[in-house]
Amino acid sequence: MKLPHPSPLLIKEREKKKKVMAFGTFDVYHKGHENYLEQAKKLGEYLIVVVARDKNVLRIKKQETRNKEQKRKKILEESGLADEVALGDLKDKYKIIEKYRPDVIALGYDQKVDLVELKDKLKEFNLNAKIVRLKSYEPEIYKSSKLKK
């Protein structure tokens, strides 16, 4: 089981490796999420998964999550796919990128992201992270919006 706060040793180890950052709500964890994380993991040596905060999901998607953020975080930790799982920031969605300074940002095939804004933030952070859009995995079956019905 992962520690709630990474130890200095873990932080030092993380900094040596090519870091990949993936984002999501992961409300109803399914094979599509698993595939997304497996694809992301192949892009580097250390996968950091950022879980969307309950308040942010409500604000952006206009609906509450089925599972609270701590439960979603725990499910991802238990999946064994991520080297580290973190909750996103409540106010600034880019703060976590600045904190972890990933080498690669892995985006899901359907994630709505303002790429111009993201690239501007990366420049602001003096960060040369590669942005990669990953492939879908049977979206007609494994898509959270379809599985919630």
Q: What count of Cα atoms within 13 Å lies in the side-chain half-sphere of residue 70?
A: 1
Number of domains into which the chain is organized = 1
Confidence of residue 140 (pLDDT cuts 50, 70, 90): low
The answer to whether residue 139 is domain-embedded is: yes
User: Is it the case that residue 2 has pLDDT exceeding 90?
Assistant: no
The answer to whether residue 2 is domain-embedded is: no
- The Cα–Cα gap between 28 and 102 comes to 26
The answer to whether residue 113 is domain-embedded is: yes
Mean pLDDT over 121-141 rounds to 88
- CA 145 remoteness from chain centre: 18
Q: What is the pTM (predicted TM-score) of this model?
A: 0.83
Q: Looking at residue 149, what is its pLDDT?
A: 45
The answer to whether residue 10 is domain-embedded is: no
Average pLDDT, the chain: 87
Domain boundaries, position 137: 17-147
**CATH code at 77?**
3.40.50.620
The answer to whether residue 122 is domain-embedded is: yes
User: Is it the case that residue 20 has pLDDT exceeding 90?
Assistant: yes
Residue 92's nearest CA partner among 72, 117, 75 is: 117
